[in-house]
């Protein structure tokens, strides 16, 4: 009975997917939603015949998922979720494929349920930092949920960057773990031990707690590097677990960066969505012309207070133009740090004010999709 219902669900979902593509929609959400509406168990049923790999974390999910999919594709066909389509219906949609492997990006709050439903071979945990707090509420709250599910999932290998104390805590009681450390990176929200609530001791970017939680207990230890470098390494560790050969990546492949030529100028878009990704982006080389785009829709985080959790000092000396729905939040934030900007109503206006041939655009999540994709 349920098999029949699943077949019917897939048929309808694929039909809708086909029709919606006919009228020009990218539509990964709608077919997945229909599938789950007709067969609520679709995810676990579809996952049964696949090797499933899940990727989650605050930053780097989409690009690292792509990297893992590339690595695993050496072994066979891979079903994967489209850009940022990381809720349950995105997973459901991807799992409809007949491919033997599925590599899925999963939203932090949806991860426990998807682990329970798919019984994955490997789960890669990248990082947990403050993001969309109107929805996540607290970083610790997300880590608590992960901890419970990671402890339960006895068939799964968890690969985690334990320089992040939240991840180390999440997998602390898991059956199969590969703890990875690069060392020397102070976690921006890591003052308190997520396991016991004591004040964490940080020395040179490494932590330890009286309860025993430390990043010195890793199975694998590597030199430090950029987020792109670390995520490429983590992706290859996942690949090795499922038997794939390592693949080399350009760092640009593991960053949410897109360069487009617009009115004869090279416009370099970079996704910046929370303090951690902003800090990473501001450490990179920026053009003299910089455009900042800030929105605060649901997926951007509807509260902009976090702008004050990082320093924008790297923008000093640049020609800065600000736009987006929350441009004033941004303009005032950097104003107080001594950086003056022009506030304009549209991205086109911002472009027209640029002086040189190269423009760096640091942009919120929703704007990144509208402007760069």
Nearer to another protein, 118 or 215 (CB): 215
Shortest distance, CB of residue 333 to another protein, whole angstroms? 7
45 closest CA partner among 69, 9, 16, 11: 9
Measured CA to CA, the distance from residue 340 to residue 156 in angstroms comes to: 50
Contacts 24+ apart (CB under 8 A), 77-80: 77/101, 78/102, 78/103, 79/50, 79/103, 80/104, 80/105
Least distance to another protein, CB of residue 328, Å: 5
> Based on CB atoms, which residue is closest to another protein, 260 or 319?
319
- At 138, give phi and psi (nearest 5°): -145, 145
User: In the complex, what is the shortest distance from the CB of residue 338 to another protein, in angstroms, rounded to a whole number?
Assistant: 9
Q: How far is the CB of 365 from another protein (least distance, A)?
A: 18
> What is the spatial distance between Cα 76 and Cα 104, in angstroms, rounded to a whole number?
15
Point out which residues bind another protein (CB under 8 A). Answer: 130, 133-134, 137-140, 189, 191-194, 197-199, 302-309, 328-329, 331-333, 335-337
User: CB of residue 241 vs another protein: minimum separation in angstroms?
Assistant: 33
Tokens of 10: 């897939």
Q: Give 256 or 333: the residue with its C-beta nearer to another protein.
A: 333
**Nearest to another protein of 341, 366 (CB atom):** 341
Question: Which is nearest to 287 in space by CA: 361, 358, 372?
Answer: 358
DSSP-derived secondary structure letter, 344: -
Q: Are 60 and 229 in contact (CB under 8 A)?
A: no
The residue written with tokens 């090797």 in the block is 51
For the CB of residue 313, give the shortest distance to another protein in the complex, in Å: 12
CA dist 34 → 9, 23, 46, 82 (Å) = 7, 18, 15, 17
**Sign, Cα dihedral of 212, 217, 223, 225:** negative
Rg (Cα) of the chain, in Å, rounded?
21
Over 21-74, what HEC string results? HHCCCCCCHHHHHHHHHHCCCHHHHHHCCCEEEEEECCCCHHHHHHHHHHHHCC
Q: Which is nearer to another protein, 90 or 165 (CB)?
A: 165
Nearest approach, Cβ of residue 130 and another protein (Å): 7
Of the pair 46, 142, the CB lying nearest another protein is at 142
* Residue with Cβ nearer another protein (110 or 140): 140
Q: Minimum distance between the CB of residue 329 and another protein, rounded to whole angstroms? A: 7
């Amino acid at each position: 009975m349920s098999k029949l219902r699943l077949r019917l669900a897939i048929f309808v979902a694929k039909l809708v997917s086909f029709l919606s593509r006919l009228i020009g929609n990218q539509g990964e959400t709608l077919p997945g939603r229909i599938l789950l509406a007709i067969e609520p168990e679709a995810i676990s049923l579809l996952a049964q015949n696949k090797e499933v790999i899940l990727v989650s974390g605050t930053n780097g999910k989409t690009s690292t998922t792509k990297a893992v999919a590339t690595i695993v594709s050496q072994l066979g066909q891979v079903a994967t979720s489209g850009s940022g389509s990381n809720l349950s219906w995105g997973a459901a949609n991807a799992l409809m494929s007949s491919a033997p492997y599925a590599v899925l990006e999963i939203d932090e709050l949806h991860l426990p349920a998807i682990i329970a439903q798919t019984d994955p071979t490997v789960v890669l945990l990248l990082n947990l930092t403050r993001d969309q707090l109107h929805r996540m509420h607290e970083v610790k709250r997300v880590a608590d949920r992960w901890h419970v599910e990671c402890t339960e999932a006895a068939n799964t290998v968890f690969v985690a960057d334990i320089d992040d104390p939240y991840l180390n805590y999440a997998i602390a009681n898991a059956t199969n773990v590969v703890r990875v450390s690069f060392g020397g990176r102070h976690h921006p929200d890591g003052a308190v031990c997520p396991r016991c609530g004591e004040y964490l001791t940080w020395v040179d970017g490494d932590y330890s707690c009286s309860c025993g939680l430390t990043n010195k207990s890793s199975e694998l230890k590597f030199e430090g590097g950029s987020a792109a470098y670390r995520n490429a390494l983590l992706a290859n560790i996942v690949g090795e677990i499922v038997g794939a050969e390592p693949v080399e990546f350009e760092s640009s492949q593991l960053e949410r960066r897109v360069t487009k030529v617009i009115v004869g100028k090279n416009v370099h878009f970079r996704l910046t969505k929370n303090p951690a990704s902003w800090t990473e982006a501001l450490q990179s080389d920026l053009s003299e012309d910089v455009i900042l785009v800030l929105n605060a829709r649901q997926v951007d985080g509807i509260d902009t207070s976090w702008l004050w959790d990082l320093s924008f000092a790297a923008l000093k000396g640049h020609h800065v133009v600000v736009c987006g729905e929350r441009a004033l939040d941004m303009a005032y934030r950097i104003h107080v740090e001594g950086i003056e900007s022009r506030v304009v109503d549209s991205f086109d206006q911002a472009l027209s004010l640029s002086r040189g041939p190269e423009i760096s655009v640091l942009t919120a999540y929703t704007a990144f999709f509208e402007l760069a994709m």
